[in-house]
């Protein structure tokens, strides 16, 4: 496990909660360095490690962009593609929630739910 203070045994219940959200096709709990703490991807998907690293990089880039114009760090980054949306939500101490959302899903509801989960992760010590 990485130096991330989030307890690994807490990762799977978080993943199960994210996965239970209607519209979530895949998800991962990722350290700020891009290490997977927990995940759900369809069978045969070998790119989950690359996905985790790239999502950590996207959030770090968004934080740098915000800092360059003196804004607070973002709590969420949304990537919209024609067939799906990727949500990257900062939780605590560099931990992030990543989720691939099917296109017809209720995105605002999913965003609120992931933000609520991120707050709970932040409260766990």
Structure tokens, 103: 């296109």
CA distance 125 to 118: 13
pLDDT, tens digit (0-9, with 9 covering 90-100), for 38-97: 999 877 667 888 999 999 999 999 999 999 999 999 999 999 999 999 999 998 878 999
CATH superfamily of this structure's domain 8-123: Dynein light chain 2a, cytoplasmic (3.30.450.30)
> Residue 53 — φ and ψ, nearest 5°?
-65, -45
- Per domain, the residue ranges of the chain are 8-123
pLDDT, tens digit (0-9, with 9 covering 90-100), for 6-46: 666 788 899 999 999 999 999 999 988 889 999 998 776 67
CA 70-29-78 angle, 5° bins: 45
Q: What is the pLDDT of residue 4?
A: 47
pLDDT of 105 over the 90 cut: yes
pTM of the predicted structure, to 2 decimals: 0.89
The three-state DSSP-derived secondary structure of the chain is CCCCCCCHHHHHHHHHHHHCCCCEEEEEEECCCCCEEEEECCCCCCCHHHHHHHHHHHHHHHHHHHHHCCCCCCCEEEEECCCEEEEEEECCCCCEEEEEEECCCCHHHHHHHHHHHHHHHHHCC
**Contact status, residue 102 vs residue 23, Cβ threshold 8 Å:** yes
């Amino acid at each position: 496990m990485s130096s991330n203070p989030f307890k690994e045994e807490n990762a799977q219940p978080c993943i199960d909660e994210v996965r239970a959200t209607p519209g979530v096709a895949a998800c991962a709990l990722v350290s700020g360095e891009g290490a997977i703490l927990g995940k759900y991807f369809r069978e045969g998907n070998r790119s989950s490690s690359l996905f985790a690293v790239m999502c950590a990089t996207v959030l770090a880039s968004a934080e740098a962009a915000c800092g360059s114009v003196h804004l607070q760090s973002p709590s969420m980054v949304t990537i919209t593609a024609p067939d799906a949306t990727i949500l990257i939500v900062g939780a605590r101490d560099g931990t992030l929630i990543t989720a691939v959302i099917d296109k017809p899903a209720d995105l605002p509801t999913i965003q609120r739910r992931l933000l609520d989960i991120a707050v709970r992760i932040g409260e766990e010590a």
